[in-house]
Amino acid sequence: MKKMTMADIAKVAGVSKTTVSRYFNGGYVKEETRQKIEKIVKEYDYEPNVLAANLKANKTHTVGIVCPTLTSYASSRMMMNIDQFLKKHHYATIIINTNHDELDEIKSITKLTQLRVDGIILLATSITMAHRDIASKSSVPIVFMAQAYDDGVSVINNDYEAGYKIGEYIYSNGHKNVVYAGVSRKDVAVGVIRRQGVYDGLQNVHPHFLETDFSAEKTIDKLNDYLKNHTCPTAIICATDTIAMGCMKVLKDHGLRIPEDVSVTGFGGYWTSTVMSPALTTIKFHYAHAGQTAGQIILDMIEEKEVERATLIDFTFIEGESVRSI
């Protein structure tokens, strides 16, 4: 009988050759597919030793990080922690910035693969069909950060619980006229899940949604416009600390006091909040832990160990002086 090749197994299983390669290298493969390949391997008594040895060789001890921006506090903290963790484990890190360009995220994964990194950590802004496509074909293990990826491995903030905590806090402080300053639904973690947490925590209070982006500049424009045509809310829940800083600037420019006239909250727990006046009530995600966790997971994947598919990163509620009870 002719010796079975990896291509043959792929053909029989109806999957790609790289999926079979990932199967043998301990990379992530859907449970259903895994069982299918396993069955064929047993049936044909396939011996993958040579292949596995080839693929194991030629490690560069380098991990690539793809990030949407270099100027976000959250991304920077996570990357610093990934980098420090990997350095301790004798891995180098190279970073590619995508400027919030989805197409660039895909191109960057290809570029890092060409540079022969051993693994990739993607700080994703959204997960599109193109992401799924490249992730399923990638010969290099990928960890998704910040956005849940149901077909692979991800490290994500506990956005729903964090949002719920803030929503509940504003509700329990008696606010009824609430604005939620958030981002587009394309960012599932912040635009959908964090927002849903806030809305659920607010119980029967329905906030007005003010759509902005992650910049203070756009937030300033949007809130100025809003205040022209609406009564001033008693509380503004902001999807990030940067958005909160933009709102606080507008409120101050309008001669409104925080929290006497308007309460403001953020998400992030950036240290500048502590020097801000008043101190911002916010949520601090555990960025150091997130970075170390992603670092450990990508090393485990490179070393072909079993990993959790989704790891939730916890948070701390920080009560500042920017919310009053009414």
**Full DSSP string of 72-98:** -HHHHHHHHHHHHHHHHTT-EEEEEE-
For the bound state, the minimum distance from the C-beta of residue 99 to its own copies, rounded and expressed in Å, comes to: 7
Using the minimum distance from each CB to its own copies, give the nearer residue, 117 or 148: 117
Mapped to the 3 state alphabet, what secondary structure does 266-286 carry? Answer: CCECCCHHHHCCCCCEEEEEC
- Spell out, one character per residue from 169 to 208, where the chain touches its own copies: x when CB under 8 A holds, - when not: ----------------------------------------
Length of the chain: 326
Angstrom distance (rounded) from CA 237 to CA 228 = 19
Using the minimum distance from each CB to its own copies, give the nearer residue, 111 or 176: 111
Q: Which stretch binds its own copies (CB under 8 A): 63-71, 129-137, 232-240, 307-315?
A: 63-71
Angstrom distance (rounded) from CA 105 to CA 149 = 15
Angstrom distance (rounded) from CA 143 to CA 163 = 24
For the bound state, the minimum distance from the C-beta of residue 73 to its own copies, rounded and expressed in Å, comes to: 8
| Residue 136 binds its own copies (CB under 8 A) | no
Task: Figure out which of the listed residues 5, 35, 71, 139 binds its own copies, where binding follows CB under 8 A.
Answer: 71
Using the minimum distance from each CB to its own copies, give the nearer residue, 28 or 270: 270
* Helix 17-24 / helix 49-56 crossing angle, nearest 10 deg: 80
For the bound state, the minimum distance from the C-beta of residue 88 to its own copies, rounded and expressed in Å, comes to: 11
| Residue 318 binds its own copies (CB under 8 A) | no
- Spell out, one character per residue from 86 to 125, where the chain touches its own copies: x when CB under 8 A holds, - when not: -x----xxxxxx-x-----------x---x----------
Which tokens sit at 304? 């072909």
Provide the H-helix boundaries in the chain: 6-13, 17-24, 31-44, 49-56, 73-88, 102-114, 129-137, 159-172, 195-201, 216-229, 241-253, 272-275, 287-302
- The helix/strand/coil state of 326 is coil
- Spell out, one character per residue from 235 to 274, where the chain touches its own copies: x when CB under 8 A holds, - when not: ----------xx-xx--x------------------xx-x
For the bound state, the minimum distance from the C-beta of residue 308 to its own copies, rounded and expressed in Å, comes to: 26
Angstrom distance (rounded) from CA 239 to CA 117 = 34
| Residue 224 binds its own copies (CB under 8 A) | no
Angstrom distance (rounded) from CA 235 to CA 280 = 13
Burial class of residue 157, CB neighbours in 10 A (0-12, 13-18, 19+): buried
| Residue 218 binds its own copies (CB under 8 A) | no
| Residue 147 binds its own copies (CB under 8 A) | no
Using the minimum distance from each CB to its own copies, give the nearer residue, 58 or 204: 58
- Spell out, one character per residue from 274 to 293, where the chain touches its own copies: x when CB under 8 A holds, - when not: xxxx----------------
Instruction: Give the interface with its own copies as residue ranges (CB under 8 A).
Output: 69-71, 73, 76-77, 79-80, 83-84, 87, 92-97, 99, 111, 115, 216, 245-246, 248-249, 252, 271-272, 274-277
